[in-house]
Structures are given as C-alpha cells and as structure tokens.
Amino acid sequence: MNERLTITALGPNIGGQVSDINLSRPLSDAQFEQLYHALIRHQVLFFRDQPVTPQQQRALATRFGDLHIHPVYPHAPGVEEIIVLDTHDNNPPDNDNWHTDVTFIATPPAGAILAAKQLPETGGDTLWTSGIAAYEALSEPFKVLLSGLQAEHDFTK
C-alpha cells in the first residue's frame, strides 16, 4: 500500500486535492496524519472518484473525532451520523445560500465530510470560503472592533 499521499493546493487560501488514496479502505496512521495536516493547511480537501458507502464515510469521519448527529436532515439508513441531502425537481435544496453548517448548536462540528452520489451535468457546485483568510484580510481597527462582539445563531429565527 502506498503510504504517501499526493496533495495539490487548489488556491492560495483554501482547498487541496488529495490523490493516491482509497477511502473505501481503512487509512493507516501515516495516511491519516497526512490527511489531518493537509486539512489544517488547506481547510477543505477534495477526493475525486471515491465511491464510499455511508459506513465507510462514518469510519473515516470518526478518525477526526466524535461525530455530530444532525437535528433536522434525514439520516442514511442505519448510519445516523450521515445525513442524506436528496435534491431534485420535487425536493429543491433548502440550503442553497451561503451558510456555515449547524452554527446554531452550542458546539458546532469542526468540519464535514461530503460524498456526492449523483451529480448534475451542470451546476450542483458547493462553494467554499476561508473565514481565516477573510479575517486576516481585515484592517487592524476592524479586528479590534470585532474582538468584543458576540453573535447568536438561532435556527428558529
């Protein structure tokens, strides 16, 4: 088994593409360590052509820590930590605007692992942004202004 992963930066602030990995198999400790450090560095990682099952997706996710059970969306059969977002003409997306996942709970998850099962020929994109880069681009006076503020995220509002 190849222990060395290839990780290619996709932009200056966010995104890395990982190759030379098979996510349908358990990762070695060396592979996981490379993934973990790549995630910290790139904030979002992309894996092409990885047909994982919900059970395999959960197994990968548990390597990063405790998993969150989403309070709203339906779960994959027998795998409550994996949600299913099934959108089509009769079920349009309800989260197709900019958002950060489940910030309305006391301790939001540190991340998410998405696995696309069926993609449209066009569209269907998920866009990502770096909150770290956005904050670092702010002027020092604006950072000082923000440092004393708090926000309430309420799902019911």
- Residue 88: predicted pLDDT: 67
The domain tally of the chain equals 1
Confirm whether 99 is domain-assigned: yes
Domain range enclosing 79: 66-118
Confirm whether 102 is domain-assigned: yes
Confirm whether 70 is domain-assigned: yes
How far, in Å, CA of 113 to CA of 4, rounded? 21
Output the six-digit token pair for 150.
């708090």
Mean pLDDT (the chain) is 89
Beta bridge partners of 70: none
DSSP 46: E
Output the six-digit token pair for 45.
């990682």
Confirm whether 78 is domain-assigned: yes
Confirm whether 124 is domain-assigned: no
- Residue 50: predicted pLDDT: 93
Contacts with 157 (C-beta within 8 Å, 6 or more apart), sequence order = none
Distances, alpha carbon 137 to alpha carbons 131, 140, 145, 146, in Å: 10, 9, 14, 13
- Residue 153: predicted pLDDT: 85
Let me know: does 47 contact 58? Beta carbons within 8 Å: no
Confirm whether 104 is domain-assigned: yes
How far, in Å, CA of 70 to CA of 56, rounded? 18
* Antiparallel, parallel or unpaired: β 16-19 and 45-47: parallel
Can you give the pTM of this predicted structure? 0.84
